[in-house]
């Protein structure tokens, strides 16, 4: 999927919602627990219920890789159930020497039809370059995250600037807004004005709205650009909105609430 297609979907749906399929077998409704394909059944129901209200799905691969072959199969089945109209993100946080990254890129862009993958920039350009070589695919680089550990490196000063600012400035030169995005945590909304000065045209993947306490209003106020430029990820707040038989309807209701609020900010 290219940037223009993503923007088109945002305009059609009046939504920049990304639903995170960080599915934990221990947290899905009890009536599904006996299903040998419980993860897939749960994910398919969530996708069917929310697809009209979001433009993207993010699969956190750790929740699937931890189950071995069965989990990998569940991830594939889930991925293939997501409509082609939706932007599909592998939240895998890869990043290694060039030949290894080339294999990661092949895994998530060829073997699996993801549109984007999250990567860590610590090892530099040659660890990210293989992902950027793919046409109509996006590399989503960790920029400023919401976790407590962001203080350890990202928010340390580096030549009068924070390290995350150096990362954004440097990495943005390796690609373009047509193949590069950045992860910016929702709880860092106060930094978005500054971030938009550094990368005014890039899309930002913003986790942390919902259970982590990020404000959709603040992120939208400071982060929206002329193309929207935001994908707001909500995972637990949507997929675990209900725990009973009607869990998918409950998820749909929360997704609709996000969509409605986003429609106001897009006006």
Per residue in 74-128, pLDDT (tens digit) is 999 999 999 999 999 999 999 999 899 999 999 999 999 999 999 999 999 999 9
Is a pLDDT exceeding 70 seen at residue 154?
Answer: yes
pLDDT band at residue 177 using 50, 70 and 90 as cut-offs: very high
CATH number, domain of 25, equals 3.20.20.70
Is a pLDDT exceeding 80 seen at residue 196?
Answer: yes
Give the predicted TM-score (pTM) of the model. 0.97
Look up 166 and say whether it is catalytic: no
Q: Find the catalytic residue in 70, 93, 137, 166.
A: 93
Q: How many domains does the chain have?
A: 1
Lowest mean pLDDT among 37-51, 187-201, 210-224: 210-224
Q: In Å, what is the CA distance from 104 to each residue of 128, 159, 177?
A: 10, 33, 22
Question: Can you give the pLDDT at residue 211?
Answer: 67
3-state DSSP of 187-206: HHHHHHHHHHHHCCCCEEEE
For range 220-230, the mean pLDDT? 97
pLDDT band at residue 213 using 50, 70 and 90 as cut-offs: confident
pLDDT band at residue 208 using 50, 70 and 90 as cut-offs: confident
Question: Can you give the pLDDT at residue 109?
Answer: 98
Tell me if residue 111 falls in helix, strand or coil: helix
Model confidence pLDDT, tens digit, residues 22-34: 999 999 999 998 8
Q: Which domain holds residue 103?
A: 3-265
């Amino acid at each position: 999927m290219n940037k223009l297609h993503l923007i088109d979907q945002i305009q059609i749906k009046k939504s920049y919602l990304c639903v995170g399929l960080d599915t934990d077998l221990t947290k899905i409704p009890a009536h599904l627990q006996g299903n040998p394909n419980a993860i897939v059944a749960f994910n398919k129901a969530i996708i069917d219920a929310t697809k009209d209200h979001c433009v993207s799905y993010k699969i956190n691969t750790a929740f699937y890789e931890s189950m071995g072959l069965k989990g990998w199969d569940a991830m594939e089945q889930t991925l293939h159930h997501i409509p082609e109209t939706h932007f599909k993100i592998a939240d895998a946080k890869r990043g290694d020497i060039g030949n290894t990254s080339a294999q990661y890129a092949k895994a998530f862009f060829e073997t699996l039809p993801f549109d984007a993958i999250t990567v860590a920039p610590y090892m530099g350009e040659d660890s990210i370059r293989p992902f950027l070589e793919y046409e109509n695919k996006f590399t989503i680089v960790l920029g400023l995250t919401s976790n407590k550990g962001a203080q350890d490196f990202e928010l340390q000063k580096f030549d009068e600037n924070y390290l995350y600012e150096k990362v954004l400035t440097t990495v943005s030169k390796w690609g373009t807004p047509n193949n590069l995005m950045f992860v910016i945590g929702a709880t860092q909304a106060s930094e978005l004005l500054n971030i938009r000065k550094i990368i005014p045209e890039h899309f930002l993947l913003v986790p942390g709205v919902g259970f982590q306490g990020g404000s959709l209003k603040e992120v939208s106020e400071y982060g929206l650009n002329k193309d929207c430029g935001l994908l707001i990820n909500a995972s637990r707040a949507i997929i675990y909105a209900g725990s009973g038989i009607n869990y998918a309807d409950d998820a749909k209701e929360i997704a609709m609430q996000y969509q409605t609020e986003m429609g106001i900010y897009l006006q």
